[in-house]
Amino acid sequence: MKGILLRTTQAAFLALTLGAGSAHAAGGHGDHAGHAAPAASAPIGKPGDPARVTRSIDVDMTDAMRFTPARIEVKAGETVRLNVRNSGRIRHELVLGTDADLKAHYDMMMKDPGMRHEEANAVSLEGGGSGQIVWRFDKAGTVSFGCLEPGHYTAGMKGAVSVQ
């Protein structure tokens, strides 16, 4: 049951993240299908090809519920490797998305705190762990990120990538 729920919510989040087209492909998502259309108007980019990475950026996560840096600037079309480190003791994650996606997904996390994110746009780390996201930022605008562990996002564990 848990596994099914996990996969369903992951699929819903992917659909939200990647846009309305994939929402249909992935099947019915109840309430979440309604969010897909507005999210599609603000695409956040796509998984990047590691061979095309032009820049690596270190991002630190702490138990003070902060990302450092919380503001990142990239150029449109740039493929970036985010080297993410959890220097806290508790689990944190970095999930890229629109504000609407992150809020919707955070609500799901509050209902199912055991959820883990293994999509290309997210990395979830135990205390002391490190991982990475390779992402291509396609369009000028702002791509948000946040830690969706219960209580963290609302405590201000969020940031933004400014794409120019």
Window 22 to 81, contacts with Cu ion (CB under 5 A): none
Amino acid at 72: I
Could you tell me the two tokens for 103?
Answer: 């809020």
- Report d(CA 135, CA 38) in Å as an integer: 22
Q: Whose CA is closest to 12, among 109, 87, 83?
A: 109
- With contacts defined by CB under 5 A, how many residues of the chain interact with Cu ion? 5
- Among the listed residues 78, 101, 119, 149, the single contact to Cu ion using CB under 5 A: 149
Using DSSP, state whether 157 is helix, strand or coil.
coil
125 binds Cu ion (CB under 5 A): no
**For residue 88, what is the DSSP state?**
S
- Name the residue nearer to Cu ion (CB basis): 117 or 152: 152
84 binds Cu ion (CB under 5 A): no
Q: Which helix (H) or strand (E) holds 10?
A: helix 2-18
- Name the residue nearer to Cu ion (CB basis): 77 or 151: 151
Using DSSP, state whether 14 is helix, strand or coil.
helix
How far CA 100 is from CA of 23, 53, 76, 164, in Å, comes to: 15, 27, 21, 21
- Name the residue nearer to Cu ion (CB basis): 29 or 152: 152
Q: Which residues pair with 146 in a beta bridge?
A: 95, 158
Only segment of 13-21, 37-45, 114-122, 155-163 that touches Cu ion (CB under 5 A):
155-163
- Name the residue nearer to Cu ion (CB basis): 19 or 129: 129
92 binds Cu ion (CB under 5 A): yes
- Among the listed residues 44, 152, 158, 163, the single contact to Cu ion using CB under 5 A: 152
Only segment of 5-13, 69-77, 91-99, 101-109 that touches Cu ion (CB under 5 A):
91-99
Residues that bind Cu ion (CB under 5 A): 92, 147, 149, 152, 157
